[in-house]
Structure 1
Amino acid sequence: MATAKRPTTRCTSAPPKPAPAKCPVWDGTGEVSRTVRVGRKRRAVGEQSGLCLNCLGSGEAPAE
């Protein structure tokens, strides 16, 4: 005699994925301040924003 098939139960909802970690260098903003220097004596005149070279501006920690 054949055995009866049992209905399989599958979980329809996956566990939530953890939020990506923030870049530890610049607190997840993805931008850094760079000093602007001009002239032969390289005097500082101000700052401008640039991309974080650790996370390349995404704000997320790079994969290990």
Structure 2
Amino acid sequence: MAAKKTPAPPAPAACPVCKGSGEVSVTVRVGRKRRVAGQQTGMCLTCLGSGEAPTDD
């Protein structure tokens, strides 16, 4: 009798906002006129840094 193999669970989809990296670039603004001072990397708030697309559980 042959053993049945169960299929492996599919890999989780990448987050559409950060494209799976878990990080996004944010523009930093300073001063009263809010001039642009540069960019910094921050955690993706859609997937909370995991890089996986959120599910509706």
With structure 2 as the length reference, what TM-score do the two structures score? 0.83
Q: Which string of whole-angstrom CA distances, capped at 9 and with x for unpartnered residues, describes residues 6-59 of structure 1?
A: xx8753x43111100000112111100001111111110100001111101100
Aligned to 2:31: 39
Q: Which runs of 5+ in 2 are unaligned?
A: none
With structure 1 as the length reference, what TM-score do the two structures score? 0.75
Q: Which runs of 5+ in 1 are unaligned?
A: 1-7
Aligned length: 56
Q: Deviation above 2 Å: which 4+ runs of structure 1? A: 8-11
Which structure: larger Rg?
Answer: 1
RMSD value over aligned CA atoms?
1.6
| Greater RCO (CA < 8 Å, at least 6 residues apart) | 2
1:1-64 aligned at under 5 Å gives the runs 11=4, 13-64=5-56
